[in-house]
Amino acid sequence: MKEKITAHQFFIIMFLLPYGSAVLFYLSPETKTDIWIGILAYGIIFVIIQMIYISLFNKYPNDSIVTYLPKIYGKFIGYILSIIYIGVRIKIVQEKLRKFLISFRINIRDGGT
């Protein structure tokens, strides 16, 4: 059986999981017992962003975010926003890879403990 994930499921995987863990890992040392405020704020922001993305997915079902930004904002501004979007995504991947490699190197150096 060949199964595919929908655009909505892909969106949740790409946005909900990384940002949810970012709130817990990056904010928890500073917020201590007030982490619930960060989680609540993240949840509200995520729902708003998800509603925007879902409406865009429904309006442009065969396009990706990079291809429909020029349709919404015009060619010049749309392409600039697409480049910014791609750059931000590359930066996020680079940062996660760097942290993983640092963690991996420390783990190897310490003998896996």
Query: What does the pLDDT look like over 67-92, one tens digit per residue?
Result: 888 988 999 999 999 999 899 889 98
Q: Where are the domains of the chain?
A: 1-59, 66-113
Which residues are CB-neighbours of 18 under 8 A, at least 6 positions away? 92, 96
Nearest C-alpha neighbor of 66 from the set 78, 82, 43: 82
Side-chain half-sphere exposure of 97, counting CA atoms within 13 A: 6
pLDDT, residue 22, reads: 64
Rounded mean pLDDT of the chain? 78
Q: Lowest-confidence range among 59-68, 87-96, 97-106?
A: 97-106
Q: What is the pTM of this model?
A: 0.60
Nearest C-alpha neighbor of 11 from the set 50, 48, 60, 46: 50
